[in-house]
Amino acid sequence: MAPSRNLEITRPASDVRAFDRCASIVEVLKYWAATKPAQPVFTFLHNGEVALEALTFAQLDAQAERYAAVLRAAVSPGSRVILMLPSGYAFIEALFGCFYAGCVAVPVALARKRDFDSQRRRASDDTPLVEKIARDADAAAVIATAELSRTLRDADSRAALRATAIRHILSDELAGGSVAVPSGGATRLPDPQALAYLQYTSGSTGDPRGVMVSHANVLAAVRGSATAFQFSEQSRCVSWLPHYHDMGLVGSILQIVYSGCQCWFMSPQSFVAKPDRWLAAISNVGATISGGPNFAYELCTRGVAERAREFRLDTWQCAYNGSEPVRLDTLNNFAAAFAASGFTFESFRPCYGLAEATLQVSGGPIGRAAPVRRVSDDATAGTPLERMSVSCGRPVEGADIRIVDPDLLTAVSDGTVGEVWVHAPQVGRGYWAKPDASRDVFDARIAGESHDTTYLRTGDAGILADGELYVLGRYKDAIILNGVNHQPEPIETTVALAGAAQRLAMAAAIGASIDGRERLVVVAEVGARLSRQPSSLAEI
């Protein structure tokens, strides 16, 4: 285990940026708890609307200490601890409790009872994702609600989380004070290179892989985003993003604590059920920063636009958009729909990031419209699938983004399509217990350049032009027609736009071998009305 430093937090006399000298997010929270203990940091919106009593920096620090005391009595430092908690204060308190105890947090999505149904599992041979993660991480404990703990304990006997070796810690008891907190032990500042958490990814398409994120990675990530998006103590944030996902974990929890600001948050379920709750919260609290994946803006445009005058969105200075392809038509439609709310296109901040780099590697700067550029998948002007692409911003502070030929491993010229490679202090240390995969993804080197610099291979196609990053899609999703690579996204966008008047819902483009030749296949979802109009379908 990496060595720790004794904790000693004192109130600085004047330096308001003293937290910049902190070496971990633990030290940052301790700093804020000492300097502004009564300042609210998180406010949970029950059902997306009713604000509960806010959680202050001092309260978060105290609850994290309670979790840490229980963890120290239950597991050894460095142990992996599953966090399976719904959106709310308990998740945040447990997360920092892991950090305080020197444990490695492992955030996961909530398990459902049907995921563990023996008959269903035997029929599908489908192991629940949380079980796969628990086994891969060799978890020593799980922090869950009493209800979720019962789900795990009552599961099939093969379930890893039912094993007696895994300790169950109930958030309900710690929140209610019904459990005695062990005495002894003290919080020590973690070594910056010690692991903070494992961020599991790709669980839906294969065996889950846990990105090893250190405390140094966390600070590099939040510092880069703070500069790119101008986070400050005066920032007011709103979020509905899942706590276990990197965008929610880093962007809406760790970023908030680092910046010393305040965040109002709701569950993802509250947002999906009524997207207007997101905009209402932004309007009600005068939020300056909020965002989500592209689909969030589409949901609001489709279902809430007619109520635009009910919201005041002129305070929303940073509307970040990431985690999935950013569509220019989505940005244009949202900006037009909510112009009556005071929202402007210049507030959009498309960004690019991935779990392997903790979160963000490009985005910003604030105060200008994101550049738009005409690009094509093979970087040849005039190709049939040339499209307008919106910039995902400039590399964040400390990040070196290169575009590389994925086969030759050589850097390509400005404006040429290649694979996005990243060298940055926020890039994780590899995948937990997967040295071969880690070497392939995290230890890439550009041919003809110094082998002292290693890069993260993202698997994404993109270009760099005038210092701006444009992401075109996943290389593995490329469709090869007549020897030319085509990304599905512009094809899907073209089909969706062509069917907009007929309310075509969405489309997916794939390549398929038909009669020995690679063919383009487009699958489109249509409504009942359109399905009864063959002429309209033929036109699309």
Cα–Cα distance between 360 and 175 in angstroms, integer?
32
The answer to whether the bond into 365 is cis (omega within 30° of 0) is: yes
What pLDDT digit, counting tens, does each position of 177-186 carry?
556 666 666 7
Residue written as tokens 């997916």?
A: 508
Q: How many CB atoms lie within 10 A of CB 498?
A: 14
The first and second tokens of residue 380, run together, are 């040849």
Q: Are 65 and 89 in contact (CB under 8 A)?
A: no
What H or E segment, with its residue span, contains residue 473?
strand 468-474
Distance separating alpha carbons of residues 230 and 366, to the nearest angstrom = 7
Mean pLDDT of 67-78: 95
Pairing between strand 55-56 and 40-46?
antiparallel
H/E stretch holding 289 reads strand 289-292
Q: Are 155 and 116 in contact (CB under 8 A)?
A: yes
- Give the pLDDT confidence score for residue 443 in this predicted structure: 97
Provide the 8-state DSSP code for 251: I
Residue positions counted in the chain: 540
Task: Answer whether residue 5 shows pLDDT above 50.
Answer: no
Looking at domain 274-432+446-476, which CATH architecture does it have? Answer: 3-Layer(aba) Sandwich (3.40)
Identical fold at 5-224 and 274-432+446-476? yes
pLDDT at 175: 75
Lowest mean pLDDT among 59-68, 104-113, 353-362: 104-113
Report which of 97, 87, 79 is spatially closest to residue 174, judged by C-alpha positions: 97
Query: Which of the 8 DSSP states describes residue 53?
Result: P
Instruction: pLDDT band for 123, please (50, 70, 90 cuts).
Output: very low
DSSP string, 384-399: TT-EEEE---SBPTT-
DSSP structure string for 128-195: -HHHHHHHHHT-SEEEE-HHHHHHHHTS-TT-GGGSTTSEEEEHHHHHHT-SPPPP----EEPPTTSE
Instruction: Let me know: does 59 contact 96? Beta carbons within 8 Å.
Output: no
Structure tokens at 289: 């920063």
Q: Band the pLDDT of 130: cuts 50, 70, 90.
A: confident
| Burial label, 1 (beta-carbon count in 10 A; 0-12, 13-18, 19+) | exposed
The helices-and-strands tally (H runs, E runs) of the chain is: 18, 27
Q: What pLDDT does residue 451 have?
A: 79
Q: What is the pLDDT of residues 249-259, one digit of tens each?
A: 999 999 999 99
Residues 6+ apart with CB under 8 A from 243: 85, 87, 91, 92, 95, 107, 249, 252, 253
In the three-class reduction of DSSP (H, G, I as helix; E, B as strand; rest coil), residue 360 is classed as: strand
Q: Which residues pair with 197 in a beta bridge?
A: 105, 213
Domain ranges for the chain: 5-224, 274-432+446-476, 479-539
The Cα–Cα gap between 92 and 95 comes to 5
Distance separating alpha carbons of residues 179 and 177, to the nearest angstrom? 6
**How far is residue 73's CA from residue 186's CA, in Å, rounded to a whole number?**
12
For 7-54, the pLDDT digits (tens) are 444 443 334 466 678 999 999 999 999 999 999 999 999 999 999 999
Confidence of residue 199 (pLDDT cuts 50, 70, 90): very high
Average pLDDT over residues 376-382: 50
- CATH 3.40.50.740 assigned to domain 5-224? The reply is no
* Nearest in space to 291 (alpha carbons), one of 262, 321, 311: 321
Residue-wise pLDDT for 477-500, tens only, equals: 555 444 445 556 555 555 555 555
The string of DSSP letters for 65-78 reads HHHHHHHHHHS-TT
Residue 537 reports pLDDT greater than 80? no
pLDDT for 474 equals 82
| C-alpha torsion 299→304→305→310, nearest 10 | -140
